[in-house]
């Protein structure tokens, strides 16, 4: 059972003048039996032990069947977050943690689930999302969802570490759950070893610097490209000359492909570029912009592109639109594998668009890349009219504005990729109301032992386009 003891290494908190009004239930202890695991990976229990009123309790690090005494720690949504203070009878068999930081680190929350139960739970999240999209028959939703595609441990190729410097030292890591404390993750069971090794070297490097230098650093993003690690440091100020020199030496020492520095919303500026960070999609090399988006694991990217290719193999598609295309994980395979197809690729990040345009030109690929904010200016009926298939893969917020137009004017086929079951359900519901049939969902787990889930969906229009 997870023991989330308080981490003393916190930022000093601020005190306001007036004492905040305290919720009388905070600090109360109750006995509960865990009934289920919720969407964020905590155990769920309901108790009427407090004044006969039903209270929902979210407990970290427990499994269904666990009988525990918990202390309510904070208000959380429609219930209370709680921590285990004692184990009563009948604790279920918890799996051993895969990582020494599991008790503290908020990156993973489900290592204590036995592997088969974990996979069942994760796939079930996709079934629940399908039901929230309006397929109310549980059997129908169950049949629609394919087997879970998983990524192995030590395969995550992207990490965003928080950095803080306190009286106790320098911290480079992930936040503790439900807190601002940073856990120094000197080992990690999900990240590729090269990223963990870099983190450890980077922490040692920061420990060698004056404190006032380290305090300007906010975070560090590490992307593992095909040509090596691409690192971007986020900071509040520009680095001075000494720091630049030190960073260039660190890049040599750790064999980084590139090390860039980014102040606030300003563009990232390379401090050391030893190789161009690149990835290949369908054999085409594409430069990765500093801090740019990559699918979290190679295996996850392959599972998604295979799912797209399988769905496409049944359709005589000549023209495809790839929305929220990033640097083209799907665009190049769509255009260049199997039958060559014309692809219109749309993306809001100008650095990704430039990287794509350059790669498209070099490869003479049948791809047109368009820079556009699809939240403010979704593609309209005219832009959609020649497409046989639309693929979309939005950020966590989903593709609401675009789906409203697709619902009325979208082509026969839509392939949707989503990293958020909640917005996935909303967008699928919209498309189904517009006359699309949700045919298949493939759940892809790139975020091992976390509640995050990627989903691929195939939709087919069964009602004609709006007049
Ligand atoms: C989940 S990523 C998918 C990228 C790509 N499909 C891939 O697999 O690598 C979402 C992409 O949407 C882009 N994006 C975010 N907001 C956007 C907007 N308002 N308009 C257009 N693109 C946006 C991001 O820059 C990012 O590249």
Pairwise pLDDT comparison (8 vs 85), residue with the higher score: 85
- Is pLDDT at 73 greater than 60 in this prediction? yes
Q: Are strands 228-235 and 217-225 parallel, antiparallel or unpaired?
A: antiparallel
CA–CA dist 187, 190 (Å, integer): 9
- Is pLDDT at 91 greater than 70 in this prediction? no
pLDDT band at 90 (very low <50, low <70, confident <90, very high): low
For residue 7, what pLDDT is reported? Answer: 36
Nearest-CA residue for atom 25 of ligand 1: 349
Paired with 418 in beta bridges are: 455
- pLDDT tens-digit series, residues 239-280: 999 999 999 999 999 999 999 999 999 999 999 999 999 999
pLDDT band at 39 (very low <50, low <70, confident <90, very high): confident
* Domain range 118-151+294-461, CATH architecture: 3-Layer(aba) Sandwich (3.40)
For residue 169, what pLDDT is reported? Answer: 94
pLDDT band at 13 (very low <50, low <70, confident <90, very high): very low
For residue 440, what pLDDT is reported? Answer: 97
- Is pLDDT at 298 greater than 80 in this prediction? yes
Nearest-CA residue for atom 21 of ligand 1: 348
Angle at CA of residue 33, ends 30 and 35, nearest 5°: 130
Nearest-CA residue for atom 11 of ligand 1: 324
- Pull the structure tokens for residue 260: 């860039």
Q: Which residue, 360, 408, 355, 415, is CA-closest to 381? A: 408
For residue 12, what pLDDT is reported? Answer: 36
Pairwise pLDDT comparison (387 vs 91), residue with the higher score: 387
**Is 393 annotated as a binding-site member?**
yes
**Is 301 annotated as a binding-site member?**
no
**Is 347 annotated as a binding-site member?**
yes
Measured in angstroms, how far is the CA atom of residue 328 from the centroid of ligand 1? Answer: 10
Measured in angstroms, how far is the CA atom of residue 354 from the centroid of ligand 1? Answer: 14
Measured in angstroms, how far is the CA atom of residue 322 from the centroid of ligand 1? Answer: 10
Nearest-CA residue for atom 23 of ligand 1: 348
- Is 188 part of the annotated catalytic residue set? no
- Pull the structure tokens for residue 288: 């990765």
- List of residues 6+ apart from 414 with CB closer than 8 A: 389, 390, 391, 392, 406, 431, 436, 458, 459, 461
**What value of ipTM does the predicted structure carry?**
0.99
Among 43-57, 95-109, 144-158, 447-461, the range scoring the smallest mean pLDDT is 43-57
For residue 70, what pLDDT is reported? Answer: 95
- Is pLDDT at 418 greater than 70 in this prediction? yes
CA–CA dist 180, 178 (Å, integer): 7
What are all long-range contacts of 370-377, with beta carbons under 8 Å and residues at least 24 apart?
370/344, 370/345, 370/346, 371/346, 371/347, 372/346, 372/347, 372/348, 373/348, 374/323, 374/324, 374/346, 374/348, 374/399, 374/401, 374/402, 375/348, 375/400, 375/401, 376/401
Of 78-92, 183-197, 451-465, give the range with the top mean pLDDT. Answer: 183-197
What average pLDDT does the structure give for the chain?
93
Domain ranges of the chain: 29-87, 118-151+294-461, 158-279
- The residue whose CB lies within 8 Å of the most ligand 1 atoms, and thus the one to mutate among 291, 333, 349, is 349
CA–CA dist 173, 387 (Å, integer): 44
Among 35-44, 388-397, 399-408, 419-428, the range scoring the smallest mean pLDDT is 35-44
Burial of 154 (0-12, 13-18, 19+ CB in 10 A): middle
Q: Are strands 36-37 and 43-50 parallel, antiparallel or unpaired?
A: antiparallel
- Is pLDDT at 458 greater than 90 in this prediction? yes
- The residue whose CB lies within 8 Å of the most ligand 1 atoms, and thus the one to mutate among 282, 326, 351, is 326
Cβ proximity of 44 and 35 under 8 Å: yes
- Is pLDDT at 3 greater than 70 in this prediction? no
φ, ψ (nearest 5 deg) of residue 352: -65, -40
pLDDT band at 383 (very low <50, low <70, confident <90, very high): very high
Ligand 1 contacts (CB < 6 A) are 293, 295, 324-326, 329-330, 347-349, 352, 373-375, 393-395, 419
Q: Which fold has domain 29-87?
A: OB fold (Dihydrolipoamide Acetyltransferase, E2P) (2.40.50)
* Fold agreement (118-151+294-461, 158-279): no
- pLDDT tens-digit series, residues 323-378: 999 999 999 999 999 878 999 999 999 999 999 999 999 999 999 999 999 999 99
Q: Which fold has domain 158-279?
A: OB fold (Dihydrolipoamide Acetyltransferase, E2P) (2.40.50)
Rounded alpha-carbon distances, angstroms, from residue 400 to 107, 235, 239, 271, 406? 28, 33, 40, 38, 10
φ, ψ (nearest 5 deg) of residue 254: -95, 0
- Is pLDDT at 8 greater than 50 in this prediction? no
- List of residues 6+ apart from 146 with CB closer than 8 A: 440, 441, 442, 443
Measured in angstroms, how far is the CA atom of residue 346 from the centroid of ligand 1? Answer: 9
For residue 2, what pLDDT is reported? Answer: 56
């Amino acid at each position: 059972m997870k023991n989330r003891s308080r981490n003393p290494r916190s930022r000093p908190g601020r005190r306001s003048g007036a004492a905040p009004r305290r919720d009388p239930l905070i600090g109360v202890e109750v006995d509960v039996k865990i009934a289920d695991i919720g969407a964020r990976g905590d155990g769920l229990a309901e108790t009427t032990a407090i004044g006969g009123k039903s209270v929902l309790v979210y407990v970290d690090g427990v499994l269904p069947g666990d009988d525990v005494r918990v202390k309510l720690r904070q208000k959380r949504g429609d219930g209370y977050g709680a921590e285990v203070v004692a184990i009563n009878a009948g604790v279920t068999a918890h799996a051993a943690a895969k990582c020494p930081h599991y008790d503290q680190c908020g990156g993973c929350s489900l290592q204590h689930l036995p592997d088969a139960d974990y996979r069942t739970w994760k796939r079930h999240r996709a079934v629940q999302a399908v039901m929230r999209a309006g397929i109310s028959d549980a059997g129908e939703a169950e049949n629609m969802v394919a087997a879970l595609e998983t990524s192995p441990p030590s395969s995550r190729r992207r990490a965003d570490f928080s950095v803080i410097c306190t009286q106790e030292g320098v911290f480079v890591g992930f936040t503790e759950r439900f807190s601002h404390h940073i856990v120094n993750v000197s080992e990690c069971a999900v990240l590729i070893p090269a990223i963990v090794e870099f983190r450890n070297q980077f922490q040692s490097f920061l420990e060698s610097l004056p404190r006032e230098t380290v305090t300007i650093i906010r975070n560090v993003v590490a992307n593992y490209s095909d040509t090596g690690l691409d690192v971007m440091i986020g900071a509040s100020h520009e680095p001075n000359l000494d720091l630049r020199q030190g960073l260039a030496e660190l890049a040599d020492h750790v064999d980084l492909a590139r090390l860039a520095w980014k102040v606030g919303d300003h563009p990232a500026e390379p401090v050391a570029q030893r190789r161009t960070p690149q990835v290949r999609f369908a054999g085409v090399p594409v430069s990765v912009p500093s801090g740019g988006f990559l699918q979290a694991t190679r295996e996850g990217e392959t599972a998604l592109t295979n799912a797209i290719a399988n769905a496409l193999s049944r359709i005589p598609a000549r023209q495809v639109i790839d929305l929220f295309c990033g640097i083209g994980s799907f665009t190049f395979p769509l255009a260049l594998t199997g039958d060559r197809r014309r692809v219109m690729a749309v993306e809001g990040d100008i650095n990704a668009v430039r990287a794509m345009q350059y790669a498209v030109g070099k490869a003479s690929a049948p791809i047109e890349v368009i820079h556009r904010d699809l939240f403010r200016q979704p593609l309209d009926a005219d832009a959609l009219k020649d497409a046989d298939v639309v693929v979309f893969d939005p950020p966590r917020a989903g593709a609401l504005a675009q789906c409203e137009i697709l619902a009325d004017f979208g082509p026969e086929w839509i392939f949707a990729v989503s990293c958020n079951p909640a917005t996935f359900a909303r967008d699928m519901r919209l498309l189904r109301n517009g006359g699309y049939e949700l045919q298949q969902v493939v759940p892809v787990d790139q975020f091992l032992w976390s509640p995050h889930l990627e989903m691929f969906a195939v939709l087919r229009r069964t009602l004609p386009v709006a007049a």
